[in-house]
Amino acid sequence: MGMVGYTVALVVITVIASPCVYGKQLSDQQEIKVQRLLKRLNKPAHKSIKSEDGDIIDCVPITKQPAFDHPLLKNHTIQMRPSFVPEGGSTFTKKEAKAITQVWHKNGVCPDNTVPIRRTKKEDILRSKSIESFGKKRHKSFGKGTHQSNPGEGHEYAIMNSRKGIYYGTKFVINMWRPEVEVPNEFSLAQTWLASGDGYDTNTIEAGLQVCPVLYGDNNLRLFVYWTSDYYQSTGCYNTGCSGFVQTSKVITPGGSFAQVSQYDGAQYGLPMLIWKSSGNWWLMIGEEYVGYWPGNIFTSLGDRATTVQWGGEIVNQRTDGRHTNTDMGSGHFADEWYKKASYFRKLETVDGANTLREPQGLYPYASNGNCYNIKAGEKILKALPVETAFKFPSPLPTFTQGGGFAKGTIDLGGLEVSQVPTFNKVWSTYEGGPDNLGVTFFEPSSVPTGFSILGYYAQPNNRQLFGWVLVAKDLSSNNTLKPPVDYTLVGNTESLVTKQDGPGYFWEPVAPDGYQAVGLIVTNSSQKPPLDKNKKLDFSTMPNGSQTGVLSNTYSPLIYLHPDEEYLPSSVNWYFSNGALLYKRGEESNPNPIEPNGANLPQGGANDGSYWLDLPIDKKGKERVKKGDLQSTQAYLHIKPMLGATFTDIAIWVFYPFNGPARAKVKLITLPLGRIGEHIGDWEHVTLRISNFNGELWRVFLSQHSGGEWIDACDLEFQEGGGSNKAVAYASLHGHAMYPKPGLVLQGNDGVGIRNDTAKSKKVFDTGLGYEVIAAEYGGEGGGVVEPPWVNYYRKWGPKIDYSVEDDVKRIERFLFGALKRAFVNLVKKIPDEVYGEDGPTGPKLKGNWAGDEK
């Protein structure tokens, strides 16, 4: 059975597998027990519907359902809808969101204010091992939080495990198959588990699809829910077999069957499911329908959060004749057969503490009987070893016009010629530890050019595609710049390391001849020393020239997506000046000057001493219009500079916004506008492309975020949709314009409290490679031949000092908060970064710290 971008031959479930007593004569006492249980489970109905699958669906008043027999729910107030749903993440397609209908719908619908409940029959109870165990699990499948610790009792699993953490839900699409079950007291299922606690305090919430003849009396594919708060000892049950799960939907019932099932190499059906915590309760949503919830107060450790999430399949093998059962898991085919043949979970996501859906990281598979059932992960969640998944750009690299030493493949360091080797042979791997607990792999360069010597090896985590290089060098001088080592010193090995690895790895440091410096380490999978010949002022001509920069910009300059609700758009600097922006001088505030379109009348040079600043037009209409910006006029302003000894070229792409909007705070589940906090005039943001001068390949992208930012490796970028384009995609946050590599919510804070940075894809998008101007450059000793526009050398503020009382805004918000929420908000205000207040006007690009140096 697959999982979110995987493939997995599996189907999931834990269930009761019990010998039948059906058909045996009941004692009078047993008959009384059965009738009492039937009366408790089958509440009086307003309407009953006979389904073609043999079920009877009772439409029970929502306030009279079995859930409220639970002693902790006697005075429970029904929550008809969740207070909120998780933000961000993937979206279900319209077809998925509509969801699959249950069979009973063909013969009727339940009235408003009722919920559909599958009627329990006498024979249903008698199929159970005992009357007391009806609808309950007998086995303890979780052990210490995972199934592999105690499969037992014939239960076999193929599951994907999350790493230990804090989880508030999960979202996925589950492939719908009707697995064959060989004998009536076996079952097969596919489900998710959310769990917390240890030992007999283990709490679980479970939901999925199952074929379970002992529970339902047939081999139909059915929806189920389950829960326990004491490790399956005395609490919890399937569906409405006991009190606990509260139904709110009148169209979907736990225990109901589905007619649509997937066919081998044919039509595929998927059921979209979402479980998450809202206002203390754990909600279940299928497609767009709120099915119901597990009240938080029936749990102990799950009353707060889950610590593990699992997705996968389970069967029970009850054969006692030495032969393994023929009961299928999922489609009955191994994961290796992939889509349309093996069952899957896809679009796997988990809910974090900020109520945001995220792709789970660090998942690891477990199959209790790999000879019969297995599970595999697709690249989106568990990436294959990097040697098998080398990163490639969506489109071939451009062909550059000849000129200078740019993109020639080698660089002359003055008698020492160096080159990059981006192809590798795997040397050794470990498969645990490191990012996402997936280990790391070491490589030696392959295809080393003739006459060149290796200067080191390459290593990277296994959770990403292979994207790197090793420098090799060739001595062009007569001074013996390079010499082989005279020996190697073993500096470490992994012989005693208790972890999954390709045998021991050995790390060797070269011993350099007198007067030389050792470079790099050698890694081997043998305790034998490597051979001694194993390891053996920059010219600005390596920088791209003007035409080559044009090609680079058109090829790599990113698309910047603005939030669909963004009202403060970017503009060109000329548009801003031409539409009423004013230059103020200290002491002459009553007589501001209009700014010429190219900024020719701006003061040049000097220092940011507060003598001058820019501001919006004075008239109210003009001010509001200019604050909104003008997307059509927007230009990207490029600064090209050498980096890392001119082995790379940085193209800093600056974007101007006339106005930065107000910030919003998130305090647990509440979003609060922060008045004018965060507002300022004249907002400069930038993206920096780092390009290899060896071959013109994009290496990394820097995204500015308030007063900082982050580097994103090219292999981790999102590229323009449709394929065939090497343009990266960046997302500008609502009002604040900080840039991020993925859409969704990024919280400046922790534990669900902080400043919101909301990003999303929209029709408001700016292609920085279409409208750009080079404002400063260093091309091959020419000084770039670029005339810097006057506004670049304006070293003063691009906005005024904003005078407003933060205390008033804070006190206004505090009046609406109480208790823990109020304390959380007060603590947040104390920690708000200075740049969010934005009281002082920002400076232009040339006064930013990265103009003359590297990104911080």
Q: What is the pLDDT of residues 420-437, one digit of tens each?
A: 888 888 888 887 776 666
Contact 358, 352 (CB under 8 A): yes
Confidence band (pLDDT; 50, 70, 90) for 150?
A: very low
Token readout for 240 is 């409405």
Strand pairing partners for 210? 189, 222
Is 212 a member of any domain?
yes
| pLDDT score recorded for residue 294 | 98
Q: What is the mean pLDDT of the chain?
A: 83
Q: What is the pLDDT of residues 395-423, one digit of tens each?
A: 777 776 666 667 677 776 666 787 888 88
Same domain, 795 and 754: yes
Same domain, 215 and 130: yes
| pLDDT score recorded for residue 753 | 76
Q: Are strands 169-175 and 155-161 parallel, antiparallel or unpaired?
A: unpaired
Give the count of alpha carbons within 13 A of 591, CB side only: 2
Name which residue leads in pLDDT, 788 or 749.
788
SS3 115: strand
Token readout for 10 is 């599996």
Among 250, 238, 235, smallest CA distance to 189 is for: 238
pLDDT at 102 over 80: yes
Is 393 a member of any domain?
no
Q: Where are the alpha helices (DSSP H) in 510-571?
A: 546-556
Containing domain of residue 692, as a range? 546-847
The C-alpha atoms of residue 843 and residue 807 are separated, in whole angstroms, by 26
Same domain, 517 and 588: no
Token readout for 656 is 């101007």
Give, in order, the Cα–Cα distances in Å from 609 to each of 171, 646, 795. 54, 34, 9
Name which residue leads in pLDDT, 211 or 780.
211
Q: Show the CA angle centred on residue 323, arms to residues 322 and 329, nearest 5°.
A: 135
Token readout for 435 is 């990012």
493, 524, 555: which is the final residue of a domain?
524
Q: What is the pLDDT of residues 572-610, one digit of tens each?
A: 999 999 999 999 999 999 999 999 998 999 999 888 888
Same domain, 236 and 137: yes
Confidence band (pLDDT; 50, 70, 90) for 567?
A: very high
Confidence band (pLDDT; 50, 70, 90) for 90?
A: low
Same domain, 554 and 591: yes
376, 394, 425: which is the final residue of a domain?
376
Among 715, 735, 719, smallest CA distance to 727 is for: 719
631 phi/psi in degrees, rounded to 5: -60, -35
> Domain count of the chain?
3
**Token match 């030493």: residue?**
405
Is 530 a member of any domain?
no
Amino acid identity of residue 553, one-letter, is: S
The C-alpha atoms of residue 377 and residue 615 are separated, in whole angstroms, by 55
| pLDDT score recorded for residue 9 | 33
Same domain, 331 and 426: no
Name which residue leads in pLDDT, 588 or 716.
588
The C-alpha atoms of residue 674 and residue 671 are separated, in whole angstroms, by 10
Can you say whether the dihedral through the CA atoms of 774, 778, 784, 787 is positive or negative? positive
The C-alpha atoms of residue 468 and residue 457 are separated, in whole angstroms, by 10
Residue 281, H or E segment? strand 281-286
Q: Which residues of 797-815 are buried (b: 16+ CB within 10 A; e: fewer)?
A: bbbbeeeeeeeebbeebee
Same domain, 355 and 419: no
Is 541 a member of any domain?
no
Name which residue leads in pLDDT, 357 or 361.
357
Q: Where are the alpha helices (DSSP H) in 102-184?
A: 122-126
User: Which of 337-351, 479-493, 811-825 is predicted most confidently?
Assistant: 337-351
Active site residues: 206, 314
Q: What percent of the chain has pLDDT over 90?
A: 43
pLDDT at 184 over 70: yes
Q: Which residues of 754-765 are buried (b: 16+ CB within 10 A; e: fewer)?
A: bbbbbbbbeebe
Q: What is the pLDDT of residues 19-71, one digit of tens each?
A: 233 445 788 888 999 999 999 999 999 999 999 999 999 999 999 999 999 99
Among 718, 827, 846, 847, smallest CA distance to 789 is for: 846
Measured from the Cβ of residue 723, the count of other Cβ atoms closer than 10 Å reads 8
The C-alpha atoms of residue 730 and residue 710 are separated, in whole angstroms, by 12
The C-alpha atoms of residue 694 and residue 468 are separated, in whole angstroms, by 13
Is 731 a member of any domain?
yes
Q: How many residues make up the chain in this entry?
A: 856
Name which residue leads in pLDDT, 295 or 467.
295
| pLDDT score recorded for residue 146 | 44
Is 397 a member of any domain?
no
Residue 837, H or E segment? helix 834-837
Can you say whether the dihedral through the CA atoms of 73, 77, 78, 81 is positive or negative? negative
Same domain, 718 and 832: yes
489, 524, 559: which is the final residue of a domain?
524
Contact 124, 38 (CB under 8 A): no
Same domain, 841 and 770: yes
Name which residue leads in pLDDT, 701 or 453.
701
814 phi/psi in degrees, rounded to 5: -60, -30
User: Which of 473-477, 478-482, 516-520, 644-648 is predicted most confidently?
Assistant: 473-477
Same domain, 641 and 697: yes
Q: What percent of the chain has pLDDT over 70?
A: 84
Q: What is the pLDDT of residues 168-182, one digit of tens each?
A: 999 999 999 999 999
Same domain, 259 and 366: yes
Confidence band (pLDDT; 50, 70, 90) for 725?
A: confident
pTM over 0.85: no
| pLDDT score recorded for residue 443 | 87
Amino acid identity of residue 13, one-letter, is: I
Q: What is the pLDDT of residues 364-404, one digit of tens each?
A: 888 888 888 888 876 544 443 455 567 777 777 777 666 66
Is 405 a member of any domain?
no
Same domain, 468 and 581: no
Contact 753, 667 (CB under 8 A): yes
Is 400 a member of any domain?
no
